[in-house]
Amino acid sequence: MSASISKLLERARPEILAMQAYSSARMEAGQATIMLNANESPWAPAGSGDSELNRYPDPQPKALRTRLAELYDVAVEQILVGRGSDEAIDLLVRAFCHEGRDTIAISPPTFGMYAVAARTQGAAVIETPLAADFSVDVDAMLARITDSTKLVFVCTPNNPTGALVPLATIERLATALRDRALVVVDEAYLEFADGAMSATSLLGTHANVAVLRTLSKAHALAGARVGTLIAHAEIVALLRRIQAPYPIPALCVDAALAALSPQGVAQAQERIAVLLSERGRLSRSLPAAAGVLAVHPSSANFLCVRFADAQKTYKALLALGIIVRDVGRYPGLAGCLRITIGSPQENTAVLGALGLQEVAA
């Protein structure tokens, strides 16, 4: 174990480091062909054909981890698969933060689950608001971070603003917080960021970087809840100590492998191209709508749009069966609605509802 990761692990809760991880029946099965160790039914459920749904799934499916490692260009031992990014966020907070003592750092407005996971664990949240252009104020964040800060969350592209955080910003944070805190980079929307480089490129030189990825967005598997934490193998091993024994249902694993097949990836890339084109169409068209004050630049599959009367617009869209997200409660986003980029037909319906036609390129 390198000195750097050893020092970082010293920042984790010692009781987690010392505990004996649960050993599931599936982990102990080995090459057995008659499995009588898990109190499972010996028969497949009705209507399932030759499926093995009567058996518990692999806790960390080898085929899926291998495919994800290929997709993200990392080593298999750096991969932890879980129930969306939310589970990884929760595991990180539980592994590193003592109740009533430790803190996490965020830059609002950003994804709300970082704070929810921390407060559920009894950890305080240090907030350093984004700058007016939605960039991360590194100097201000570092000035607020204390020895109690174990995790720093950076969402890029950021939800709900859509702003991309430069890789240099993330590297600066990781360098400043070496051996002190884990910089967790949430890249749920990175596939829509026009070829931006992933923070996984920092893993070789910065043991205190962890990256969150998901199949929910670009790979259309929100209903399957398959997320990935990519980090140093020792961080992955630490989180496996406290992860539920069987986090990913077998049917979800099958869906993920199908989506990550060559054909599935090719289809995802085609659809991403359509969404990027549609994002451009909406970005050009929306400023002409009555009551639109700003369409913020976005590197994600959504636009954050500021309206003179966001509530009126929200209700008018809802009356036509169109639901968007009111993000006005977030700091700095008063009057803003977040509009997901839908299919071309759905986007045309939004423009029509706002009294617009497409604006030519």
Is the same domain home to 247 and 318?
A: no
Please determine, for residue 120, whether its predicted confidence score (pLDDT) is greater than 90.
yes
Query: Are 300 and 290 a contacting pair, CB within 8 Å?
Result: no
Is the same domain home to 305 and 249?
A: no
- Report pTM: 0.94
* Region at 61 (left for phi over 0; alpha for psi -120 to 50; beta for the rest): beta
pLDDT band at 49 (very low <50, low <70, confident <90, very high): confident
Any bridge partners for residue 211, and if so which? 185, 230
Pair of tokens at residue 41: 């039914």
For the chain, give the mean pLDDT: 96
217-240 pLDDT per residue, tens:
999 999 999 999 999 999 999 999
pLDDT band at 135 (very low <50, low <70, confident <90, very high): very high
267-295 pLDDT per residue, tens:
999 999 999 999 999 999 999 999 999 99
CA 223 from chain centre, in angstroms, equals 14
Q: Which of 260, 285, 307 is the last residue of a domain?
A: 260
Q: Which of 204, 235, 260 is the last residue of a domain?
A: 260
Query: Helix or strand or coil: residue 36?
Result: coil
Is the same domain home to 252 and 293?
A: no
Is the same domain home to 98 and 222?
A: yes
pLDDT band at 302 (very low <50, low <70, confident <90, very high): very high
Query: Are 105 and 145 a contacting pair, CB within 8 Å?
Result: yes
pLDDT band at 360 (very low <50, low <70, confident <90, very high): very low
- In the structure, how many helices (H) and strands (E) does the chain have? 12, 11
**What's the total number of domains in the chain?**
2
Is the same domain home to 186 and 233?
A: yes
Is the same domain home to 129 and 221?
A: yes
Is the same domain home to 232 and 275?
A: no
| Beta strands in 156-208, from DSSP E residues, in sequence order | 182-186
Residue 216 within any structural domain of the chain: yes
Residue 110 within any structural domain of the chain: yes
Is the same domain home to 225 and 209?
A: yes
Residue 32 within any structural domain of the chain: no
Residue 358 within any structural domain of the chain: no
Is the same domain home to 206 and 65?
A: yes
| Beta strands in the chain, from DSSP E residues, in sequence order | 79-82, 103-106, 124-127, 149-155, 182-186, 209-214, 227-230, 292-295, 302-307, 325-326, 336-340
pLDDT of 42 reads 93
pLDDT band at 29 (very low <50, low <70, confident <90, very high): confident
